[in-house]
Structures are given as C-alpha cells and as structure tokens.
A and B are shown apart, each in its own frame.
Chain A
Amino acid sequence: DAGITQSPRYKITETGRQVTLMCHQTWSHSYMFWYRQDLGHGLRLIYYSAAADITDKGEVPDGYVVSRSKTENFPLTLESATRSQTSVYFCASSESGSGGHPKNIQYFGAGTRLSVL
C-alpha cells in the first residue's frame, strides 16, 4: 500500500527487553522523523533523518537507537525498554525541497502504541 506504515500497531513488552518499531514509506521522501506522544507533553521529537545513513538526535533521544540503511525504512529501537517509554510512537516523512531542506508538510503514520510492563 502507498503511504507511510508503522508496525506493529500495538506492542506489549517487559522492562529490559529490546524492542524495534518499524516505519516504512513508499514516497521516497528524504526526511523521516520519530515522535512520541504522551499526555501532558504532546508530541516530542526523538530522532530524525535527512537521508539514508544520516540521522540526528531530537529532543528526547536517550534510550533509543535509529538506523536508516534504506531511504524507505526508518526503524526505532528501544535498547532496554523502561516503563517511562510507554507511549504512542509516530513516524513521519517529508519531501526534500530546494537546497535540500524539507518541504515541511510531514505525513504521519497511524502510530504504534507501546506498553512496557
């Protein structure tokens, strides 16, 4: 299917386990982003990527790892899950505009609801 898809949609895991959330987009957008959404905090940026093999930290990167070996995929890994990482995770993508900057309309996936017990 065309668009941006996240998997799984729901995940329950235990503290200390490694978890990987997947994000796949079919538009060949250069920019991809990971956000987490929590009550009282809204959406916060975890990591973003300007292109394959280029990633950078956002506002709340601790405890997370990302990779981008292919343009279309941007997985997010929780190396050792903690209860504070219980959240809804959203992936987004954006085209690159002139000068390599994104066109700024970000398209979001449906989200992954993660519970860490």
Chain B
Amino acid sequence: SQELEQSPQSLIVQEGKNLTINCTSSKTLYGLYWYKQKYGEGLIFLMMLQKGGEEKSHEKITAKLDEKKQQSSLHITASQPSHAGIYLCGAVTPGYALNFGKGTSLLVTP
C-alpha cells in the first residue's frame, strides 16, 4: 500500500518567515491534494496537483509536484498567524478515497 510521509512533523516559525512542508510517497503519485485543518475543525481543501512538475499558488501558498511524481512540497511565503494549523497531504487510492500523511503542525509566533 502507499505510504505518505510528511516532514517536518511540526514547525514553529516567526511571523513573516518562509517555510516549506514536504510530502514523500512510497509510490508514484497520480494526484496529490493538500488540505489544511484548523485545530478542532474539519479539513479545508487547498490545492490539487496531478501532473509532474505542476505548480499551483493561492495567495501566499505554493504547492509543487516533482517531475518524478513521488514528492510534493508546500511553501508558505511571509507566514502569518492565520496560516497556523495542521497541513495534510493526501493521495488518491484505487478506491478513490484519499490516503493521507500524518500531517504537519504549524505554529506561527508573533
């Protein structure tokens, strides 16, 4: 079965700093999804990447799927307290559900 490993597990950054979260798959990725979860709440869809080399941006968040399609990165530029939460990557399974990584917890300090 496919395993998704996220790194780092947790991150504390100062407001205004940039950061990167990685998601590495044990198998080729045919679709990679990034979600954000605020503490105690549901998951909010951020971005979907389907092609190797694809890069998408939304506000200050950029996600990229590498050419070999086994890793994705999520980059936040000039972090803000509103970016705090848990970031999860998910990959499509043959049954069309999502297989998730364990998440990266982000805290942004003033």
Q: CB within 8 Å of B: which residues of A? A: 31, 33, 35, 40-43, 45, 48, 50, 56, 58, 90, 92, 94, 101-102, 104-111
| Alpha-carbon distance A17/B93, docked complex (angstroms) | 33
What are the 4 tightest A-B residue pairs by CB atom distance, in nearest-first order?
A42-B102, A108-B43, A43-B100, A108-B42
| Alpha-carbon distance A101/B98, docked complex (angstroms) | 13
Point out the residues of chain B lying under 8 angstroms from A107, CB to CB.
45
| Alpha-carbon distance A109/B37, docked complex (angstroms) | 11
- Do the beta carbons of A56 and B95 come within 8 Å of each other? yes
- B interface size (C-beta, 8 A): 22
Most A CB atoms within 10 A — which of B44, B88, B101, B102?
B102
Kindly identify which residue among B41, B96, B100 contacts A101, using a CB–CB cutoff of 8 Å.
B96
Q: CB within 8 Å of A: which residues of B? A: 31, 33, 35, 41-45, 48, 88, 90, 92-93, 95-103
Q: Is the interface of A mostly helix, strand, loop or mixed?
A: strand
Point out the residues of chain A lying under 8 angstroms from B98, CB to CB.
33, 43, 45, 104, 106
CB-nearest residue of chain B to A96: B96
- Do the beta carbons of A110 and B41 come within 8 Å of each other? yes
Contacts A43-B100, A48-B95, A48-B96 given: A105-B48 contact, CB under 8 Å?
Answer: yes
Q: Is the interface of B mostly helix, strand, loop or mixed?
A: strand
Point out the residues of chain A lying under 8 angstroms from B100, CB to CB.
35, 42-43
- Do the beta carbons of A104 and B95 come within 8 Å of each other? no
CB-nearest residue of chain A to B47: A105
CB-nearest residue of chain A to B44: A108
- Do the beta carbons of A41 and B41 come within 8 Å of each other? no
- Do the beta carbons of B102 and A104 come within 8 Å of each other? no
Contacts A40-B102, A41-B102 given: A104-B96 contact, CB under 8 Å?
Answer: yes
Kindly identify which residue among B33, B44, B95 contacts A58, using a CB–CB cutoff of 8 Å.
B95
| Alpha-carbon distance A41/B99, docked complex (angstroms) | 11
CB-nearest residue of chain B to A50: B96
